[in-house]
Amino acid sequence: MESLGRQSYSRKEKSLGVLVSNFLRLYNRDDVDLIGLDDAAGKLGVERRRIYDVVNILESIGLVARRGKNQYSWRGFGQVPPVLSLLKEEGMREKFGIIPCVTNSEMVLYDQVREEPLKLSPDDQENSPSPKLDSKKEKSLWVLAQNFVKLFLCSDDDLITLDGATKALLNVSQDPMNMRTKVRRLYDIANVFSSMNLIEKTHIPETKKPAYRWLGAKAIAIAEARFLAAPASLCDRIEPRKRAFGTEITNFTTKRAKTDCSKDRKHYESQNTCSVIKQEQCDSKTAVKRPLPPADTSKKTNAGKSNNQSIDVLENLSSAHTLQYCNHELTGLLGHYTETWRTWHAEFGRK
């Protein structure tokens, strides 16, 4: 415990992107139904507050759905394309008053989603308790995330800068402070989506300004396979060059100290603490230790104090699960999901 206390702080290891990757690897399984927020926080070794960020963003694209107090359900990657379709439709309507052409196969999935009360926009909620609440919803991370996605789906531009997104998603004439706040949120959202491979960070060639490119459905299919805790060989093959998100479970250690920042850390020790876990996770030889932990939703773990538990869970995920999935399902899965997504690729995946 205490030995971890003085461990130097690395911001990247604590990023939302890493957290989301870990979250997805933890819950992207067939046997997952309900996700308890406390449980997630405990297993991932973060505060509850961060889990809210994660589920809000994931909910915006249909990966999870709120089921009640403290409870979300895992909907899975298969739910994303229909949601993207709806977002595109909604975005186009808002923008041009046009509904894009929808193919038959698209309609099937589209209808499936519609049957359930999938929360797609705040207005879908039949009862709007108060105008105040509405205005709060408008500002929510969830809505912002959806609008961010719409920008990509409905824009002709291949690249979107955060600046541009901020302006597009805010009424012009916002005060600079409000702007700053929004940009912070967009950074959060962009981190999450890029760690999922939905978008990728790049630069505007001319200006060198940072920008994001929509990668689309096909990329998600790959991402999904990736979050099944693939073995090293596969990890390396499908891991994008840019960020190493999705390979480390690292949110269980040091916190940023308000004042005590470790000066000795000049750069991210790119694969430091995590590399141990990363290696282990991808090393099939170490992958036979303990049986999988039961989905323990009853345990109220105090976020941040569950380091050992986190490691246990992650090791389990990385060992037994890796073998299980890799040996039996991964090969088939890749093909299966590529197939499922192919229909959508033309629509959502640029190039």
Please give the residue ranges that form the binding site for DNA (CB under 7 A).
9-12, 14-17, 37, 46-50, 52, 55-56, 68-70, 129-130, 132-133, 136-137, 139-142, 162, 177-178, 180-181, 183-185, 187-188, 190-191, 210, 255-259, 261-262, 265, 267-268
Using the minimum distance from each CB to DNA, give the nearer residue, 104 or 171. Answer: 171
CB atoms within 10 A of CB 260: 9
Maximum CA extent, the chain: 60
Residue 181 CB, nearest distance to DNA (Å)? 4
Using the minimum distance from each CB to DNA, give the nearer residue, 85 or 195. Answer: 195
Using the minimum distance from each CB to DNA, give the nearer residue, 96 or 187. Answer: 187
**Cβ contacts of residue 305 below 8 Å, gap of 6+?**
none
Distance CA 186, CA 120 (A): 19
Residue 115 CB, nearest distance to DNA (Å)? 23
Residue 334 CB, nearest distance to DNA (Å)? 29
Tell me which residue of 59, 167, 196 sits closest to 120, measured CA to CA: 59
Using the minimum distance from each CB to DNA, give the nearer residue, 58 or 230. Answer: 58
Q: Indicate the helix (H) or strand (E) that contains 68.
A: strand 64-68
Residue 190 CB, nearest distance to DNA (Å)? 6
Using the minimum distance from each CB to DNA, give the nearer residue, 140 or 324. Answer: 140
3-state SS class at 74: strand
Which residue carries 């916002």 as its tokens? 174
Residue 249 CB, nearest distance to DNA (Å)? 14
Distance CA 74, CA 71 (A): 10
Distance CA 61, CA 112 (A): 15
Using the minimum distance from each CB to DNA, give the nearer residue, 12 or 167. Answer: 12
Long-range contacts of 133-137 (CB under 8 A, 24+ apart): none
Residue 330 CB, nearest distance to DNA (Å)? 29
- Name the β-bridge partners of 35: 72
